[in-house]
Amino acid sequence: MIALIQRVRSASVEIEGRIVGAIGQGLLALIGVAPGDDVARADRLLTRVLDYRVFADADGRMNLSLRQVGGGLLLVPQFTLLADTRKGNRASFTHAGAPAHSQTLFEHVVRRAHEWHAPVASGRFGANMAVSLINDGPVTFWLEAPPSEA
């Protein structure tokens, strides 16, 4: 599983002309699901998103997490994060999870985020979304869930 996180001053998702999710200061997290991903990996990725230190402390260093600053979290499904772009002029999506599998895991992440943090908003899986944001920094990181510990 992949999360592309962006520190934002604000962000929102619009579907068919209606805002379905919005946050103020916080993180916009674009979420991609791969075929082998599972609930445990989804939980590990969400933990990384919530605990990743991207906000400035009193000294101006990125030492504070989303949980510590109490910022908003906007979750948006984005299968294109798993695109294979190594050759040609058209992306291949063979590395992206099947739609039903991906939707199940994305919805799990949204439910778990509501349990672990507030405020949380989200886009809708499979919808054509207009995502607006004011990037803060800009600060953008690519996060992956660590593999299962055996």
**CB-CB neighbours of 115 under 10 Å:** 9
- Polymer length in residues for the chain: 150
| Residue 140 annotated to the active site | no
| Residue 78 annotated to the active site | yes
The encoded tokens of residue 42 equal 């989804």
Name the catalytic one among 55, 78, 106, 125.
78
Name the catalytic one among 80, 85, 93, 140.
80
| Residue 106 annotated to the active site | no
Q: Dihedral (C-alpha) 108, 111, 116, 122: value to the nearest 10 degrees? A: 100
Q: Give the residue numbers annotated as catalytic, written as ranges.
A: 78-80
